[in-house]
């Protein structure tokens, strides 16, 4: 009889695992999720609220895809995993056996026990239920607040702003997202937030949430001693791996569900992937948690290979991330530290308008490029990755920079300016940028 593979979680990691297991095997595949019937793009949640997309537009596959590919979908909550019996207990009372179990249960919003955080109108942003609550609690309000200067915080501020709701944005740090962005990048985003008339309060923490007689939020107080009236509060102070499902089992956890390089947990035939997984060893890379869309997809494909018989250790890809801060696109490739040591050089170019920035970091000892940061400009991912992996030097990268622009027809070209700046700073090492060549020849030459 064919093996029964059960996957808990229909996000990017669980779905990718299911798709590849189907491609490479004839196993019976079941995907269980409590949140939605079908896989949707969590990263597009903000665009539903902003009216750019409907929920059905965020589903990457047609609903018939699952039956056509013989992937059974169950909408239910898994309460408990019985690893000694290879069984799951579902909320509906059903008991589901498995031969192989993949935990792809994602993250959950992290709150810090603030007084009043359970009042109506106070919430995080992780899934569809949060979006529904946000829809409900922001109807006709006069003011909102958001706490937490990360990627989801700025998204929530933009969502509220799109509905003309005035927003106070509390950020604990000296400057927005400055544990990830170097000072110049961070300052550009501070300005972008203010340009959108968001009341940005840096170095300010939430103290307390105040309620009215109906149990709904009416105001917050801050560490600066202010009281801000608001009928909605977004708590975007980070996410943490969702380990609820294994809490009563013998599956080992730390912050996340502990896995080795094959995504195997300590329990036989039980794997964990995506946001909920935590690598046991540092050997796989410098971070033990990977809580990103593309890493979830990579995990799903890698675990499918192992489950289908080709046991392969996961190799972390080069780090990249992208986001949009109101109107400014952000991309980062490789290693960009906020305050690198003396051994790292940084070529930094900013447009006069102040909304575009290119940073290329390199090792001073051999000129090898180690990372790119881009604001307001898009470079080709494949090319930046190739240059970093091939350990290309600054002169090589700058000579070939014209090939990096993502869409030369529609985007202004700034590459000449950054090369001119390099030449000015390095009189003994003049670079001439080669004329633009197609991506194909740039990638394969």
Ligand X SMILES: Cc1cc2nc3c(=O)[nH]c(=O)nc-3n(C[C@H](O)[C@H](O)[C@H](O)COP(=O)(O)OP(=O)(O)OC[C@H]3O[C@@H](n4cnc5c(N)ncnc54)[C@H](O)[C@@H]3O)c2cc1C
The distance from CA 420 to its chain's CA centroid, rounded to whole angstroms, is 34
Shortest distance (Å) from residue 430 CB to ligand X: 39
- Report how far residue 16's alpha carbon sits from residue 69's, in angstroms, rounded to the nearest whole number: 13
Judged by CB under 6 A, does residue 31 bind ligand X? no
Judged by CB under 6 A, does residue 241 bind ligand X? no
Judged by CB under 6 A, does residue 234 bind ligand X? no
Q: Which of residues 341-370 bind ligand X (CB under 6 A)?
A: none
Report the DSSP pairing between strands 344-350 and 357-363.
antiparallel
Torsion of CA 246, 252, 258, 261, to 10 degrees: -120
Judged by CB under 6 A, does residue 292 bind ligand X? yes
With contacts defined by CB under 6 A, name the span among 27-35, 94-102, 224-232, 351-359 that binds ligand X: 27-35
Judged by CB under 6 A, does residue 105 bind ligand X? yes
Cβ atoms 332, 373 nearer than 8 A:
yes
Shortest distance (Å) from residue 89 CB to ligand X: 10
**Binder to ligand X among 21, 34, 134, 307 (CB under 6 A)?**
34
> Which of 128/436 has CB closer to ligand X?
128
The SS3 assignment for 295 reads: helix
Q: How many residues does the chain have?
A: 445
**Binder to ligand X among 101, 152, 200, 267 (CB under 6 A)?**
152
Structure tokens at 335: 């290693």
Q: Which residue is nearest to ligand X (CB)?
A: 106
- Report how far residue 298's alpha carbon sits from residue 22's, in angstroms, rounded to the nearest whole number: 16
Structure tokens at 425: 């700073």
Residue 308 phi, psi dihedral angles, 5° rounding: -85, 10
Q: Classify 205 in phi/psi space as left (phi over 0), alpha (psi -120 to 50) or beta.
A: beta
Query: Which residues, other chains included, contact 136 with Cβ-Cβ below 8 Å and sequence gap of 6+?
Result: none
> Which of 13/175 has CB closer to ligand X?
13
Closest CA to 103 of 281, 305, 245: 245
Shortest distance (Å) from residue 334 CB to ligand X: 16
Judged by CB under 6 A, does residue 153 bind ligand X? no
Shortest distance (Å) from residue 96 CB to ligand X: 11
Q: Which of residues 106-135 bind ligand X (CB under 6 A)?
A: 106-107, 125-127
Judged by CB under 6 A, does residue 235 bind ligand X? no
Judged by CB under 6 A, does residue 104 bind ligand X? yes
Report the DSSP pairing between strands 95-97 and 87-90.
antiparallel
Judged by CB under 6 A, does residue 33 bind ligand X? yes
**Binder to ligand X among 29, 233, 245, 272 (CB under 6 A)?**
245
Judged by CB under 6 A, does residue 262 bind ligand X? no
Which residue bears the tokens 């796989």?
284
Q: Which of residues 404-423 bind ligand X (CB under 6 A)?
A: none
Report the DSSP pairing between strands 277-279 and 257-259.
parallel
Torsion of CA 174, 180, 185, 187, to 10 degrees: -10
Shortest distance (Å) from residue 109 CB to ligand X: 8
Judged by CB under 6 A, does residue 42 bind ligand X? yes
Judged by CB under 6 A, does residue 61 bind ligand X? no
DSSP E strands in 116-194: the ranges are: 122-123, 144-147, 167-171
> Which of 18/206 has CB closer to ligand X?
18
Shortest distance (Å) from residue 353 CB to ligand X: 25
Residues that bind ligand X (CB under 6 A): 8-14, 32-35, 42-43, 45, 77-78, 104-107, 125-127, 152, 155, 242, 245, 274-275, 291-294, 296, 323
């Amino acid at each position: 009889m064919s093996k029964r593979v059960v996957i808990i979680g229909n996000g990017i990691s669980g779905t990718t695992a299911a798709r590849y297991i189907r491609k490479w095997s004839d196993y019976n595949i079941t995907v269980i999720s409590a949140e939605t019937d079908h896989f949707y793009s969590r990263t597009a949640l903000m665009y539903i609220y902003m009216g750019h997309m409907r929920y059905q537009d965020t589903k990457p596959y047609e609903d018939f895809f699952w039956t056509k590919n013989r992937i059974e979908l169950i909408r239910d909550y898994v309460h408990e995993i019985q690893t000694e019996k290879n069984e799951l207990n579902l909320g509906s009372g059903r008991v589901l056996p498995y031969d192989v179990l993949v935990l792809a249960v994602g993250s959950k919003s992290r709150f810090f026990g603030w007084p009043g955080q359970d009042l109506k109108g106070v919430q995080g942003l992780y899934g569809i239920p949060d979006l529904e609550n946000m829809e409900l609690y922001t109807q006709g309000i006069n003011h909102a607040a958001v706490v937490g200067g990360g990627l989801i915080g700025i998204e929530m501020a933009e969502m509220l702003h799109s509905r003309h709701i005035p927003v106070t944005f509390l950020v604990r740090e000296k400057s927005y997202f400055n544990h990830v962005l170097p000072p110049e990048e961070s300052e550009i985003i501070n300005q972008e937030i203010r340009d959108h008339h968001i009341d940005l309060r840096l170095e300010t923490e939430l103290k307390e949430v105040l309620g009215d007689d109906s149990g709904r939020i009416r105001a917050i107080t801050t560490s600066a001693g202010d009281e801000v009236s608001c009928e909605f509060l977004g708590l975007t102070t980070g996410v943490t791996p969702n380990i609820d499902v294994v809490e009563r089992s013998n599956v080992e956890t730390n912050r996340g569900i502990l896995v080795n390089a094959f995504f195997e947990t300590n329990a036989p035939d039980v794997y964990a992937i995506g946001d909920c997984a935590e690598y046991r060893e540092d050997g796989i890379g410098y971070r033990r948690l990977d809580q990103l869309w593309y890493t979830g997809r990579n995990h799903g494909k890698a675990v499918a290979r192992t489950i289908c018989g080709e046991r392969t250790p996961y190799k972390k890809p080069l780090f990249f991330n992208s986001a949009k801060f109101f109107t400014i696109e952000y991309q980062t490739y490789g290693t960009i530290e906020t305050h690198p040591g003396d051994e790292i050089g940084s070529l930094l170019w900013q447009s006069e308008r102040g909304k575009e920035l290119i940073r290329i970091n390199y090792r001073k000892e051999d000129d090898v490029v180690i990372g790119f940061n881009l604001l307001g400009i898009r470079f080709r991912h494949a090319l930046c990755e190739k240059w970093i992996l091939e350990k290309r030097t600054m002169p090589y990268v700058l000579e070939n920079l014209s090939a990096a622009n993502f869409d030369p027809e529609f985007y202004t070209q700034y590459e000449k300016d950054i090369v001119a700046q390099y030449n000015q700073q390095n009189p003994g090492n003049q670079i001439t940028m080669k004329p633009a060549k197609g991506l194909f020849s740039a990638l394969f030459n």
